Amino acid sequence: MSADDKTVRGGRPSFFSNPESDRLLAIIVRLLTEHSVLAERVKTLEALLDQSGIISSDQIEAFEPNQDVDEAWMLARMQLIKDVLESGANIPLDEP
């Protein structure tokens, strides 16, 4: 698909003839954006901790969460999944 194939419907770009494909694209873009931002922040924090001598890279790699931490992370994962899936649901379908 080329950039010329994009159309604008209702003030938002439409890349595919099927609106559900555009919803899926919105979900993927949201997920990639979330991942990119979080990955950069984690890398920054790890580098700062390692450089300052507070925690080494080896300690970070060896870390295993306890049950409370693991459960909190699971809840955060579920919220992220919900947020990502809702980003696609919030795109209105065009009337035929």
Q: How far apart are CA 40 and CA 35, in angstroms?
A: 8
Angle at 50 between CA 59 and CA 37, to 5 degrees: 95
Within 8 A by CB and 6+ apart from 61, the residues are: none
pLDDT (tens digit per residue) in 64-84: 999 999 999 999 999 988 887
| pLDDT computed for residue 50 by the predictor | 94
Q: Per-residue pLDDT averaged across 17-39, rounded?
A: 86
Q: How many CB atoms lie within 10 A of CB 22?
A: 20
Asked whether the predicted pLDDT for residue 24 surpasses 80, the reply is: yes
Q: Which pair of tokens denotes residue 21? A: 């494909």
For the chain, percent of residues with pLDDT exceeding 70: 77
Provide the pLDDT for residue 95. 46
Structure tokens at 50: 């390692």
Domain boundaries, the chain: 3-89
Confidence of residue 42 (pLDDT cuts 50, 70, 90): very high
Please choose, from the candidates 4, 15, 6, 18, the residue with its C-alpha nearest in 3D space to the C-alpha of residue 94.
18
Calculate the average pLDDT of the chain: 83
